[in-house]
């Protein structure tokens, strides 16, 4: 399968491969609904080790298990065969599979799709992003996995998931945070907006604790981070520097959000200097592409 075909297919969403399973059939419509290919013993189905989703809320699983006991599994689990065995690996629907085990089901309905590792990972990410099931850290790890293992660029990922390239870049920036802050992000203690404000700070762990303790808004967190950066990089009395005005700070923030990279602006007389910090050759290549397109 060519890369272009894969992108076009995935750009239409998961329904391009597994059908519109959540859509009700209108009264009088004779088109068949999407049915499972078959049922499988639940012990023949296992999770994918590459599923980007890592965190499952126990209370939500119990609620879903209760619903499954009453109504069964309404939406089949999408699986693929594991070569050389009679077992199957989940592409989409691990949460339903986990809840079905809690509900005591011995069989589950499945849709079987013959796809390779790359497509299975793409589908898992697309499905979870479209359903907003991934926390920001899981989303970033999924993007990073596609880039590292399958050579995707940030533009490719933006097309696949229907997001802007800057959204992908901002997600990947979260992976620069130290482990304690990433844990807070995964647990939902910090939002993605809070976490992005901390990426360029010299002590993100301490600032994250301050933000959560005070219940700061994202805007307040950005101000705290900016003040902390200024305090750490303040010039010596022998080399005074002019204070940045609010318009310059706002412009820096706007450009940083659009590019997904740290931007700094300094004025000197009627001119000045703008710096764009990049963390990888891929990011440098993207900057060059944007400049050449002008």
- Rounded CA separation 173/256 (Å): 11
In degrees rounded to 5, what are phi and psi of residue 45? -110, 135
> β-pairing, 262-268 with 88-92?
unpaired
- Rounded CA separation 216/288 (Å): 37
Structure tokens that stand for 17 in this block: 């491969």
Strand, helix or coil for residue 175:
helix
Structure tokens that stand for 81 in this block: 């065969």
Cα torsion 12, 15, 19, 22 to 10°: value is -130
Structure tokens that stand for 48 in this block: 């994918």
Contacts of 164 (CB under 8 A, 6+ apart): 158
Asked if residues 201 and 229 have their Cβ atoms less than 8 Å apart, the reply is yes
Question: Is 94 marked active-site?
Answer: yes
- Rounded CA separation 269/151 (Å): 44
In the chain, where does DSSP find H-type helix? 3-11, 15-18, 58-71, 94-102, 117-130, 136-150, 154-161, 165-173, 179-187, 192-198, 204-214, 218-232, 246-259, 281-292
User: Active-site residue among 94, 138, 222, 252?
Assistant: 94
State how far Cα 263 lies from the chain centre.
Answer: 23
User: Which active-site residues does the annotation give?
Assistant: 94
């Amino acid at each position: 399968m060519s890369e272009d075909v894969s992108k076009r297919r995935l750009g239409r969403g998961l329904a391009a491969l597994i059908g519109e399973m959540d859509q009700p059939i209108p009264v009088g419509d004779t088109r068949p609904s999407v049915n499972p290919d078959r049922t499988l013993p639940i012990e023949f189905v296992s999770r994918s080790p590459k599923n980007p989703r890592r965190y499952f809320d126990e209370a939500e699983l119990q609620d879903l298990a209760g619903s499954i006991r009453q109504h069964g599994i309404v939406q089949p689990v999408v699986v693929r065969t594991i070569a050389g065995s009679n077992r199957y690996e989940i592409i989409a629907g691990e949460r339903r599979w986990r809840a079905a085990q809690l509900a005591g089901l011995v069989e589950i309905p499945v849709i079987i799709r013959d796809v390779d590792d790359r497509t299975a990972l793409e589908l898992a990410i697309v499905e979870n992003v479209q359903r907003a099931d991934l926390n920001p850290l899981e989303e970033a790890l999924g993007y990073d996995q596609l880039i590292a293992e399958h050579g995707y660029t940030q533009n490719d990922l933006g097309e696949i998931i229907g997001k802007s390239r800057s959204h992908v870049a901002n997600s990947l920036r979260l992976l620069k945070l130290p482990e304690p802050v990433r844990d807070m992000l995964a647990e939902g203690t910090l939002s993605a907006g809070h976490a992005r404000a901390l990426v360029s700070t010299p002590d993100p762990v301490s600032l994250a604790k301050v933000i959560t303790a005070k219940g700061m808004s994202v805007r307040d967190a950005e101000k705290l981070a900016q003040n902390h950066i200024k305090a750490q990089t303040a010039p010596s009395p022998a080399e005074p520097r002019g204070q940045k005005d609010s318009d310059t700070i706002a412009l820096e923030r706007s450009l940083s959000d659009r590019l997904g990279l740290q931007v700094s602006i300094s004025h000197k007389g009627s001119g000045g200097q703008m710096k764009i910090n990049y963390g990888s050759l891929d990011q440098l290549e993207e900057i060059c592409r944007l400049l050449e397109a002008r």
